[in-house]
Structures are given as structure tokens and as C-alpha cells.
């Protein structure tokens, strides 16, 4: 933060670091995927100026978490004492479900911070990828091959995503062409959520 402040203005933060449910450690998933996201958002807010933008990577799986006042409050305040314990009660010991909850928390952080960032005329958004062929996704495919194949078949575009599919969206969001987009989550999933929701109904 000091280096950035001393070497120019802060235009964009793109936070992509995260771990999946393959880690099998609920606390580590929560801390890396959600707590660290809030720490970074808070730190870089101090550097934000007019037209700055923060882009956080969430996941389409965050949209699989049903609204609930109790754990939504915890997810929106992940650094508060007892937050992790509250969320843990709802995930049934599953690291995959904790991943979903943490990524929903990232989306909620965007909503929580939009007005605050807006006071600086800065923007904050999240991007929720679908199945993107990264090493993390390929590892998940090894552990859940049937599920991954089901998602691919349910995707209207009939393919998994490529890293450049996400990079191009992020590039747009940090540009001035996206100057009126803030406080929202952008799904980049090849349309799969339409069919998944249809199948659930």
C-alpha cells in the first residue's frame, strides 16, 4: 500500500487469489476466500480516488446459497468475532459448501461497500466465473467428474470457460467503458445458471 501511494494514483485492484473446497479445511477456505477479500478491500479503499475500481473474483456457486439473515450478517462481516462459527453451522462440515458460502460472502461485500466507494466516485464489483479451465477447476473435475460433466452439458454454449473469457470481462470492468457499473456481480458462466435453476424448480 505504501509503495502504491508513493508511486502514483490507484486505478484498479483485481483480487483473484482463492482456494476451492479441495483444500478440505473450512477455516482456511473462509479466511482466504472471504476474510482476505475484506482486508484487501478495506486497505485499498484508502488509496481509491475518483474512477478507481476494485474487482473481486467470486464464483457462480455463490449464487447457490439461499438468503438467510443470520449467516448473511456473518458473511458481510467476516472479520467479526464469531462470524466463522456462525457460518460453519450451516455448511454441514462440507468444504465445498463452505466454498460456496465464502464466495457468496464476496458478493455481499460488494453490496456492503458500494455506497462507501461511491462517495469517492470509485467502483467495486465482483465477477462470478462458471467452470473455467484453470488448474484449480481441473483438480475439482478430477474429484467430481460426474458433476463437472453435468455442468458442461447444461451450459448453453456447450463448453467450459477459458481464462481469457474472464480476463476480457475484468479488462472491461476496470476500463472507463464500465464507468457506470458498480455494486453488482457479473456472471460469466456461458448461461449455465439458467438451466441449473430450471432443474432445481
For residue 71, indicate whether it is catalytic: no
Q: What pLDDT sits at residue 144?
A: 78
Domain count of the chain? 1
**Cα gap 83→6, rounded to integer Å:** 35
Domain assignment of residue 88, yes or no: yes
**Of 75, 65, 57, 67, which is closest to residue 130 (Cα–Cα)?**
57
Q: What pLDDT sits at residue 198?
A: 46
- Annotated catalytic residue: which of 30, 45, 71, 99? 99
Domain assignment of residue 144, yes or no: no
DSSP 66: P
Domain assignment of residue 195, yes or no: no
Domain assignment of residue 198, yes or no: no
Q: What pLDDT sits at residue 125?
A: 98
Range of the domain at 27: 2-130+162-190
Domain assignment of residue 201, yes or no: no
Q: What pLDDT sits at residue 173?
A: 98
**Cα gap 144→131, rounded to integer Å:** 12
pLDDT tens for the chain, 201 residues long, are 556 556 666 799 999 999 989 899 999 999 999 999 999 999 999 999 999 999 999 999 999 999 999 999 999 999 999 999 999 999 999 999 999 999 999 999 999 999 999 999 999 999 999 989 888 777 777 877 888 888 888 999 999 999 999 999 999 999 999 999 999 999 999 999 998 764 443
Q: What pLDDT sits at residue 201?
A: 36
| Domain CATH for 119 | 3.40.50.720
Amino acid at each position: 500500500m505504501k509503495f502504491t501511494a508513493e508511486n502514483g494514483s490507484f486505478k484498479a485492484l483485481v483480487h483473484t487469489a482463492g482456494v476451492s473446497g479441495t483444500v478440505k479445511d473450512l477455516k482456511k477456505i473462509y479466511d482466504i476466500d472471504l476474510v482476505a477479500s475484506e482486508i484487501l478491500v478495506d486497505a485499498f479503499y484508502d488509496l481509491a480516488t475518483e474512477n478507481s475500481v476494485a474487482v473481486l473474483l467470486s464464483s457462480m456457486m455463490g449464487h447457490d446459497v439461499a438468503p438467510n439473515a443470520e449467516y448473511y450478517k456473518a458473511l458481510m462481516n467476516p472479520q467479526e468475532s464469531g462470524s466463522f462459527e456462525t457460518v460453519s453451522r450451516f455448511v454441514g462440515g462440507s468444504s465445498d459448501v463452505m466454498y460456496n458460502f465464502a464466495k457468496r460472502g464476496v458478493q455481499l461485500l460488494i453490496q456492503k461497500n458500494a455506497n462507501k466507494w461511491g462517495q469517492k466516485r470509485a467502483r467495486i464489483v465482483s465477477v462470478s466465473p462458471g467452470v473455467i479451465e484453470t488448474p484449480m477447476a481441473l483438480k475439482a473435475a478430477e474429484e467430481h467428474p460426474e458433476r463437472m460433466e453435468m455442468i458442461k452439458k447444461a451450459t448453453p454454449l456447450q463448453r467450459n470457460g477459458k481464462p481469457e473469457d474472464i480476463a476480457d470481462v475484468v479488462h472491461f470492468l476496470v476500463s472507463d467503458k464500465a464507468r457506470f457499473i458498480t455494486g453488482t456481480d457479473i456472471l460469466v458462466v456461458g448461461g449455465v445458471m439458467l438451466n441449473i435453476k430450471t432443474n432445481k424448480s
